[in-house]
Structure 1
Amino acid sequence: MTTYVLVHGAWHNGRAWERLVPLLTAAGHRVLAPTLPGHGDRFEPEAGLEAYVADVVRLLTEEELTDVVLVGHSYAGLVISSVANDAPERIGHLVFLDAMVPVHGETALDVMPITRTLVDAAARSDAPDRVPPLPELPAPYGLFGVTDPGDIAWLRSTLVDEPIRAYAEPVRLDNPAAAAIARTHIHCVGSEPEGITRRPVDDRRAQVFQLRSGHDCMITVPGELATLLLKLA
């Protein structure tokens, strides 16, 4: 049995994985999909990257987990990178799911500069400490790549503004032990919005898969995503 820990990205919460979790558990594996501080019903306006990382490390420690497949979606690429830095002995595999891939000392603004536009817009609003979710776009982009009207309505009901601190706090990647952890990158392809660019994977040891899907692939193609993740069990 493999333990998967699924970490959602900005604005989302643990419910984003509801369609994927049963597919992994049906294959005999344990799955944990925590909601990070400041998301879902965990209202913490001062939360940020450091709080997210501490929360996941606490989960790994309290559950006494080892050899975990740690999956980070989108912004959570920063989260799982720092978790690996703090608790490399508990992680067997890192999966960057259409995710930001940072280097030491970078913030989300460094990894994906387009996020600066979101932060600047928030600074001019009535809630300068919170960044609203991206708006729905015309098909085929939809809301984070989700285009079914019912799914869009459900997804929108789960989203919250992201604490601006999450974009300002840098990752810590100064533990050499983390470099030995196996890595897989899953890139969602076929409907990338204009202006969103992905860094090349600068690691010959890493596996790279492509998944034809919008960004929130756990909602739109959970079966195909499960097939890829089960290869790592």
Structure 2
Amino acid sequence: MTTYVLVHGAWHNGQAWHRVTPLLTTAGHRVLAPTLTGHGDQFDPRAGLETYVADVVRLLVEEDLTDVVLVGHSYAGLVISSVANDVPERISHLIYLDAMVPVHGETALDVMPITRVLVDSAAQSGTPDRVPPLPELPAPHGLFGVTDPDDIAWLRSTLVDEPIRAYEQPVRLDNPAAAGIARTHIHCVGFEPDGITRRPVDDPRAQVWELRSGHDCMLTVPADLAALLLKVA
């Protein structure tokens, strides 16, 4: 049995994995999909990257989890990187799912410079402490790659604003023990919006896979994603 911990990205919450979780559990594995602080029913302007890292580390410690396959979607690439830095002994595999991949000391603004537009826009609004979810785009991009009207309605009901601190706090990647953790990158391809660029993977030890899907592949192609997670881990 493998233990998967699935970490959602910005604006989302743990419900985002509801189509993937049963596929992994049916295959005989344990799955935890936490909702990070401020992403449930109540926005928390004090939360940020360090809060989210503490959320996941606390889960691993309290549940006494080891040999964990830690999956981070989108922004959560920063979260899982920092979690691995803090408790590398508990993690067997890092999976970056269409995710930001930082180096030591970087913020989300460094990894994905287009996020600066979101932060600057928030600063000019009446709520400068938060960034609202991205708007729906014309097909085929939809809302984070989701185009089915019912799925869009459900997804929109789960999204919350993201605190500015999440974009401004840097990752800490100064623990050499984390370097030995296996890594896989899954890139969602075929439906990339203009202006979104992905860093090339320059780690020769890492696996790189492609999944034909929009960004929120856990909602649009859950069976394909689950099969890939089972295959690579």
What SS does structure 2 have at the residue aligned with 1:46?
A: coil
**Correspondence for 1:221:** 221
**Correspondence for 1:20:** 20
Matches within 5 A, 1:52-67: 52-67=52-67
Contact 2:43 2:160 survives alignment (8 Å): no
**Correspondence for 1:35:** 35
Q: Matched residues, percent identical?
A: 85
What SS does structure 2 have at the residue aligned with 1:40?
A: coil
**Correspondence for 1:118:** 118
What SS does structure 2 have at the residue aligned with 1:183?
A: strand
**Correspondence for 2:183:** 183
Matches within 5 A, 1:134-173: 134-173=134-173
Rounded Cα–Cα distance in structure 2 between residues aligned with 1:177 and 1:232 = 22
- 1:28 offset after TM fit, Å? 0.2
Structure 1 portions without partners, runs of 5+: none
- 1:89 offset after TM fit, Å? 0.2
Over residues 149-188 of structure 1, what are the superposed CA-to-partner deviations in whole Å (9 max), with x where a residue is unaligned?
A: 0000000000000000000000000000000000000000
Letter paired with 1:61:
V
- 1:44 offset after TM fit, Å? 2.2
- Residues 223-232 or 194-203, more deviating: 223-232
Over residues 39-98 of structure 1, what are the superposed CA-to-partner deviations in whole Å (9 max), with x where a residue is unaligned?
A: 022542210000000010000000000000000000000000000000000000000000
**Correspondence for 1:85:** 85
Q: What is the RMSD computed on CA atoms of the aligned residues?
A: 0.6
What SS does structure 2 have at the residue aligned with 1:61?
A: helix
Letter paired with 1:210:
E
Letter paired with 1:63:
E
**Correspondence for 1:45:** 45
**Correspondence for 1:69:** 69
Rounded Cα–Cα distance in structure 2 between residues aligned with 1:42 and 1:133 = 15
Letter paired with 1:145:
G
Matches within 5 A, 1:99-118: 99-118=99-118
What SS does structure 2 have at the residue aligned with 1:79?
A: helix
Q: How many residues align?
A: 233
Rounded Cα–Cα distance in structure 2 between residues aligned with 1:52 and 1:144 = 21
What SS does structure 1 have at the residue aligned with 2:232?
A: coil
Mark the CA change 1:42 to 1:4 in structure 2 (over 3 Å): closer, same or farther.
Answer: farther
Letter paired with 2:151:
D
Contact 1:36 1:42 survives alignment (8 Å): no
Runs of 4+ with >3 A deviation: none
Rounded Cα–Cα distance in structure 2 between residues aligned with 1:149 and 1:195 = 25
Q: TM-score, normalised by structure 2?
A: 0.99
Letter paired with 1:155:
L
Letter paired with 2:91:
I
Q: TM-score, normalised by structure 1?
A: 0.99
- 1:189 offset after TM fit, Å? 0.1
